[in-house]
Amino acid sequence: MSECLSRDTDRRGFLRDGLMAVAALTAIAGDAAPLHALTRRYATGLVAGPAISYDIPAADGATIDKPNRVILVRYQGTVHAFSLECPHKGTMVEWQGDKARFYCPKHKSTFQPEGSRIQGKAPRGLDRYAVRIEGGKVVVDTGKLIDQEKDAGGWASAGAKVA
Ligand code: FES
């Protein structure tokens, strides 16, 4: 018992000394970026994924980028980007051009061209990525996957007008 207490005390002392050392270094650094700013920059770097640029689709239809697991769709004047993985169990969905829909071969869920669920075991529409038009290209932020159930507003607005 006393050994545990001693270890806890040692650990607390170690943490306290470490925090004091960080505070001292921050004070010495003067105009260097404060620790919380560095932490935030680091955290942002972890969250943000690669931005992938695509040509703006000239007409309605779907483009599947398998290596990056991204679907790019132009539908009724708006470009959307989705994860290629079905939101049920992660199977890669397929584009059925003749039926103008996405289809999951695993449990037969179907989705509208803009990603909303039509029917099947999938609990929601295809997960979308944030997109923007920049320099005449569609830029897809693959670091931010938007789940329709968790962020209905973000999902609804994840698209870029092109017409
Ligand atoms: S994995 Fe797609 S519906 Fe089940």
CA–CA separation, 86 and 48 (whole Å): 22
> In this structure, are residues 117 and 132 in contact, taking their beta carbons and an 8 Å threshold?
no
What pLDDT shows up at residue 137? 95
Inform me whether the pLDDT recorded for 124 exceeds 60.
Answer: yes
CA–CA separation, 4 and 134 (whole Å): 59
Quote the ligand 1 centre to 107 CA distance (angstroms): 5
Ligand 1, atom 1, lies closest to the CA of 89
In which band, very low, low, confident or very high, does the pLDDT at 40 lie, cut at 50, 70 and 90? Answer: very low
93 CA closest ligand 1 atom index:
2
Cα–Cα–Cα angle for 147, 131, 88, nearest 5°? 25
| Three-state SS sequence of 86-147 | CCCCCCECEEECCCCEEECCCCCCEECCCCCEEECCCCCCCCEEEEEEECCEEEEEEEEEEC
Higher pLDDT, 105 or 27: 105
| 29: DSSP letter | H
Q: Can you read off the two tokens belonging to residue 20?
A: 């004091």
Q: Give 50-95 pLDDT, tens digit per residue.
A: 899 999 999 999 999 999 999 999 999 999 999 999 999 999 999 9
Quote the ligand 1 centre to 92 CA distance (angstroms): 9
91 CA closest ligand 1 atom index:
1
Q: Give 10-33 pLDDT, tens digit per residue.
A: 555 444 444 343 333 333 333 333
CA–CA separation, 103 and 117 (whole Å): 10
Is CATH 1.10.10.10 what the domain over 51-161 is classified as, yes or no?
no
Quote the ligand 1 centre to 82 CA distance (angstroms): 15
Domain boundaries, the chain: 2-47, 51-161
pTM of the prediction?
0.70
What pLDDT shows up at residue 10? 52
What pLDDT shows up at residue 144? 84
CA–CA separation, 41 and 63 (whole Å): 33
